[in-house]
Amino acid sequence: MGPRYIHVFQVLSRLNGKNRALAALDLEEPDLVPQFEIIIDPPVIEAITGETLIRGEDALRHGRDQTIRLNSHIAARCYRMIGIDMIGVLESPPRDTRSEPLGNDGWIDEWGRAFRYKEGIEWYSQGTIKRIEDLKNLQKPDPLAPGRLDSLKIILNELGDSTAIVGVISEGWETAYQMTGLENMMRFFYVNPELVVRLIDMVVDYNIGLLQAMADTGVDAILGGDDYASQKGPLVSQRHFEQFILPGLRRIVDATKKHGLPFIKHCDGYIMPMLDSLISVGIDGLHSMEPIAGMNLGEVKSKYGADICLLGNVDCSHTLCTKSPSDVAQEVRDCIEQGAPGGGYFLSSSNTIHTGVNVENYFAMIEAGRKYGRYSPAGFT
C-alpha cells in the first residue's frame, strides 16, 4: 500500500463513521455517503495492513483462542485504516467446537455441513442430513456456547465508538438446505415438508438466540445473509418461499426489532419478484442488489427507497476484479447518483470484498465514494 493511500485513510479515519452510518440506516442524509462491507476476505486484509493472518495449518499450531484474537486485532486495524463506516462481524467457532475432520482438506461442522479448504479459501461441499431420522444424531448447536462472540467482542472494543458494527447471522433457509443439499431440500418440499419445517425452525431458533446475544453485546444492527436467488431469479417458487422461508425471516426480523435494532437483508441474485414479500416482513435495509443479475439500484431506489435503506452495488464480479481504477470510480459515481439522493444509502460492493478483488480497485472505490458522495445542506450534490 503506497503513501498516497495511507494519507487518505488516515484523514478518513478521523470521520465519525458510526454516526454517519446510523443516520443512513434511519433514512437520513448524513454529511457523506457511508461505506459498508459484510466481509473483507483475509488476503485483502493482509494486502491492506501488510500483516499476516493465521490460517490453515498455522491455526492448528496457534490454537483457537490465539488465532481469533490475533486475526480480530488485524481485521480491526484494517477497518480503521480504510475508514469504513460500518462493517459486518460473524460469529466465532465456539471453544468446544463439534466439527469433525473430513479427509485432509475438509471438515463437517456442527450443523452437519461438509466444507473443504484450500489455499486460504473455504467452501461448502455437501450436506449430510438425508432423512428425518438423521436429525436424531444431530445435537442442536448452542448460540450461547462459550466463545461464540469472541471476535465480535474484540471488534466492538476496538472500533465500537467510531464504527457501526453489524452482527451477521444466517436466518433459516441457507443453513437448512446446506444440511441436506439443495437438490434434496427441493425434493423434500414435496415428499417431506415436515422435515423442511423442522430444519428451518431449528436454524431460526438458533439465530434468534444468536442475534439476541449479539444485541446484548452491543451491535448496531443485524444482517441476515441467506441467499434466495441466482442470477436468473428466485431459487424457489413464490408459493414455497411464502410457505417455508418467509415465516422464519419474519421471526428473525421481529426478534431484531424487539431489541430496537434495524435489520438488513442481504441477498444475491435477481430478487425483484420477491421484494414486496421481503418488505412486508419489516426489513430496514437491503444489500446488495447484484448488478450482473440484472438488479438496478435506481429502480429499487425509486420503488422502495422511501421505506428501506439501500446498500450497494458496485460490481465485485468484474469491475472490482478486472477493470481499471477509473472504471471503478465511474461505477461508484453512478451508484451514488442513483442511491444517495434523499439519504438512506450506503456505498458497498455487490457482495463482499472477496479474494478475487483487486486491492487497488478497492482503494479506488473508497476514494471515489468520499469524492462523489458528499451531501450539502440542500441535499445530495
What DSSP line would sit under 155-186, residue for residue?
A: HHHHHTTTSEEEEEE--SHHHHHHHH-HHHHH
Q: What single DSSP character describes residue 76? A: H
CA distances 335 to 87, 198, 368, Å, are 19, 41, 11
pLDDT at 13: 42
Distance (Å, whole) CA 326 – CA 252:
40
Average pLDDT per 10 consecutive residues for the chain, totaling 381 residues: 42 71 97 98 97 88 95 98 98 88 87 85 88 84 97 98 97 96 95 94 97 98 98 97 98 98 98 98 98 98 98 98 98 98 98 97 98 81 61
Q: What CA–CA distance (Å, rounded) separates 377 from 381?
A: 9
pLDDT at residue 98, as a whole number: 74
Determine how many CB atoms are found less than 10 A away from the CB of residue 62: 15
Predicted pLDDT at 162: 96
- With a CB cutoff of 8 Å and minimum separation 6, the contacts of 82 are 9, 12, 48, 366
At residue 8, the pLDDT reads: 46
Q: How far is CA 77 from CA 50, 217, 321, 370, in A?
A: 11, 21, 23, 20
* pTM tops 0.85, yes or no: yes
- The alpha-helical segments, DSSP class H, found in 265-324 are 275-280, 297-304, 319-322
Q: What is the structure's pLDDT at 117?
A: 83
The CATH-assigned architecture of domain 3-95+144-380 is: Alpha-Beta Barrel (3.20)
CB contact at 8 A, 91 and 145 = no
